[in-house]
């Protein structure tokens, strides 16, 4: 069985599904969140850098609102976020090694003292003792109330591998998919996402890197492994 559940919101879900198909996997797209824009006003500076931890932040912030920060060094998590930033006209982009926390360490090491962070309503604060990050929610990811039927059908059939792109998604999936946990394998993008999913799964593993491609590689490996229960 090579079926994987793609649970992240659009448009990321479509990109993951396309990558899954290229690996010979059978993606079932069943987003657990719907993303909507929030009204926001760019905060007053000065700032030393722009921080982007999600491509959704770029899409929902809007090019016009990001324009005041376009000439700042931009620290981005992942190539997808960097690509969205380039499309928005941001030039000096520095891709971080993994997640937001690592990005904050990199900024502090580079001498950044104050940064602006367009982000989701549900986000992890990035400020540290050496770095002040102004978090500005520009979008909200609203959770579904029930497991999408396409996902439930795949889980009832057995053998599917769920791709968990965040701790929040992992916690929600664990609650909604609890009746199917014993025969469901999960691939988590990070140790935090794995921890949020809890116990009771047929198999669970963490991607080698917190990137979509690494998560899909892990998902492909789990598809070749029979559930342990």
Q: In this predicted structure, what is the pLDDT of residue 1?
A: 55
Encode pLDDT of 44-76 as tens digits. 989 999 999 988 999 999 888 899 999 999 999
Question: In angstroms, what CA-CA distances link 42 with 108, 150, 176?
Answer: 22, 39, 37
Residue 51 sits at φ, ψ, to 5 deg, of -115, 130
Q: Where are the domains of the chain?
A: 3-32+144-223, 40-141
Characterise 198 by phi-psi region: left (phi > 0), alpha (psi -120 to 50), beta (else).
left
CB contact at 8 A, 15 and 40: no
- Helix (H) or strand (E) holding 89, with range, is none
Q: Which two tokens stand for residue 25?
A: 């996997």
CB contact at 8 A, 155 and 177: yes
Question: Residue 155: which of 132, 182, 137, 135 has the closest Cα?
Answer: 182
Q: In this predicted structure, what is the pLDDT of residue 65?
A: 87
pLDDT band for position 229 (50/70/90)?
very low
Which of 1-5, 17-21, 97-101, 161-165 is least confident? 97-101
* Cβ neighbour number for residue 182 with a 10 Å cutoff: 12
Encode pLDDT of 114-137 as tens digits. 999 999 999 989 999 989 999 999
* Residue 131 CB partners (closer than 8 Å, separation 6+): 104, 107, 108, 112, 113, 114, 115
Q: In this predicted structure, what is the pLDDT of residue 211?
A: 87
CATH 2.20.25.190 fits 40-141, yes or no: no
Encode pLDDT of 184-217 as tens digits. 999 999 999 999 999 999 999 999 988 899 999 9
Q: State the DSSP code for 179.
A: G
Beta bridge mates, 76: 52, 95
Domains 3-32+144-223 and 40-141 alike in fold: yes
Q: In this predicted structure, what is the pLDDT of residue 2?
A: 87
pLDDT of 218 strictly over 70: yes
Q: How far apart (Å, rounded) are the C-alpha atoms in residues 121 and 35?
A: 10
Averaged pLDDT for residues 79-86: 90
For the domain made up of 3-32+144-223, the CATH class stated in words is: alpha beta
Averaged pLDDT for residues 106-119: 95
Q: What is the pTM of this model?
A: 0.85
Q: In this predicted structure, what is the pLDDT of residue 134?
A: 96
Q: Alpha helix locations (H) across 23-135?
A: 55-61, 63-66, 79-87, 100-109
């Amino acid at each position: 069985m090579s079926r994987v559940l793609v649970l992240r919101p659009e448009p990321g879900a479509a990109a993951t599904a396309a990558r899954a198909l290229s690996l010979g996997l059978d993606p079932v797209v069943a987003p657990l969140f719907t993303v909507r824009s929030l009204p926001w006003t760019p905060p007053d500076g000065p700032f030393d850098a722009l921080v982007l931890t999600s491509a959704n932040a770029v899409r929902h912030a809007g090019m016009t609102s990001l324009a005041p920060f376009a000439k700042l060094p931009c620290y981005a998590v992942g190539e997808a976020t960097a690509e969205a930033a380039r499309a928005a006209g941001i030039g000096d982009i520095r891709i971080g090694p993994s997640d937001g926390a690592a990005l904050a360490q990199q900024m502090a090491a580079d001498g950044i003292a104050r940064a602006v962070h367009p982000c989701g309503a549900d986000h992890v604060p990035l400020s540290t003792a050496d770095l002040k990050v102004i978090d500005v929610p520009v979008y909200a990811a609203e959770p579904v109330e029930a497991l999408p039927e396409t996902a439930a059908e795949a889980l009832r059939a057995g053998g599917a591998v769920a791709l968990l792109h965040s701790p929040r998604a992992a916690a929600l999936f664990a609650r909604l998919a609890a009746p199917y946990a014993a025969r469901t394998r999960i691939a988590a993008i990070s140790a935090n996402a794995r921890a949020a999913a809890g116990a009771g799964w047929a198999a669970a593993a963490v991607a080698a890197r917190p990137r979509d491609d690494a998560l899909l590689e892990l998902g492909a490996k789990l598809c070749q492994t029979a559930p342990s229960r």
